[in-house]
Amino acid sequence: MRILTSTILLTIVALSASVSRAAGPVVEPMSYESLETYESRIFELENRLADIESNDGANSCEAGDCWCQPCSGISFMAEVLWLRAYDSEDGDLSASSEDGSRYTLGYVGEHGWGGRIRYFELGIRDLSPSAFPGGLINFETFDAELTGRFRAGCGWWGTVSGGVRYADFIEENTVHYQDSYGPVVGLEMSRVFRCNVRLYGIVRQSYQFGQDVENNTGETMFGISELQLGAEWNRTTSGGCNFFIRSFVEAQQWDSLEDNDSEDIGLIGGGLAVGIAL
């Protein structure tokens, strides 16, 4: 009897040990501080995932850091524009829209900082010889900028830029602002509309300082304001390149230069752009 009792006790102890090993260590109740830490970590991971999804994986931002950290690389974009000219006093300058072009070459680093250069040219020809003795106006700008990307919250992304602009304005036989230089600043904001499609807006402003060599009026200045609103479709290739197409409307104002007085010239129209980021 004593042997049977001992055997039963040993069996119960062995079974208890087996159950304890199978169940694992005893889980103690989680403290409030630990729970708060885990919730904060989950919230941080959710924010990172939302950032990646809202930007199609092209950019990422560290939690608590508003400056983005995209994949570094070179980008190029070519734009074709169809713009019509107006002035602030005499109305329509051109009989139809004229085509121009803009080319942008840039580089962005791993922390969202980068640089780019941009060239724009447009020729407006008037069919009324009385309005322009030479019948031709040329607009030309060349920009060199530093850029920085940032996250604005609620799915909005931005790029701020600043640099130097060279501008040349020629109204044949009337006004010629040659070799004007000045500061240029810009801001681009974009938001994902649906899969692979985003809406964006760009504003730029520069102040040019140069000389009217046609009238020999000495040092003078004028301003250039730009607004572009559009939509972008983008696709990442199997090789990791980001290809995109843009369609947009654009308005520009070149102020205080027409007829060498306070008269302004406005440009309005639309355009298409294609680009690639390597």
Residue 76's CATH number: 2.40.128.100
**Contact, 222 vs 205, CB < 8 A?**
no
26 belongs to a structural domain: no
229 belongs to a structural domain: yes
Give the count of domains, the chain: 1
32 belongs to a structural domain: no
Name the one residue in this structure whose structure tokens are 């199609």.
56
The C-alpha angle 138, 87, 128, rounded to 5 degrees, equals 70
Number of CB atoms found within 10 A of residue 10's CB:
10
Question: 136 falls in which pLDDT band (50, 70, 90)?
Answer: confident
Six token digits for residue 101: 């072009």
What CA–CA distance (Å, rounded) separates 115 from 181?
19
List, for residues 36-54, the tens digit of each pLDDT value.
666 667 766 765 665 555 4
**Contact, 118 vs 145, CB < 8 A?**
yes
**Contact, 230 vs 200, CB < 8 A?**
yes
DSSP output for 172-234: TTTEEEEEEEEEEEEEEEEEEEETTEEEEEEEEEEEEEEEETTTT--EEEEEEEEEEEEEEEE
* Predicted pLDDT at 185: 98
N- to C-terminal Cα separation, the chain? 85
Q: What is the DSSP letter of 67?
A: B
The C-alpha angle 63, 190, 116, rounded to 5 degrees, equals 90
Number of CB atoms found within 10 A of residue 92's CB:
13
Q: What is the DSSP letter of 25?
A: S
> At a CB cut-off of 8 Å and minimum separation 6, what does 173 contact?
133, 134, 214
**pTM tops 0.85, yes or no:** no
List, for residues 142-201, the tens digit of each pLDDT value.
999 999 988 887 888 999 999 999 999 887 666 678 789 999 999 999 998 888 899 999
Question: 21 falls in which pLDDT band (50, 70, 90)?
Answer: low
Most confident of 69-78, 212-221, 241-250, 260-269: 241-250
Quick one: which of 97, 201, 188, 182 has its CA closest to 142? 182
> At a CB cut-off of 8 Å and minimum separation 6, what does 187 contact?
158, 159, 160, 161, 202, 203
133 belongs to a structural domain: yes
18 belongs to a structural domain: no
21 belongs to a structural domain: no
Mean pLDDT for the chain overall: 78
Half-sphere exposure for 75 (CA within 13 Å, toward CB):
22
* Predicted pLDDT at 56: 46
7 belongs to a structural domain: no
Question: 1 falls in which pLDDT band (50, 70, 90)?
Answer: low
What CA–CA distance (Å, rounded) separates 175 from 139?
12
Quick one: which of 226, 231, 230 has its CA closest to 267? 226
List, for residues 239-269, the tens digit of each pLDDT value.
778 899 999 999 999 987 655 556 788 899 9
Alpha-carbon dihedral 212, 97, 128, 139, rounded to 10 degrees: 10
* Predicted pLDDT at 109: 87
Quick one: which of 71, 143, 73 has its CA closest to 104? 143
Question: 276 falls in which pLDDT band (50, 70, 90)?
Answer: very high
Parent domain of 152: 49-277
Distance of CA 48 to the CA centre of its chain: 20
* Predicted pLDDT at 63: 42
The helix/strand/coil state of 110 is coil
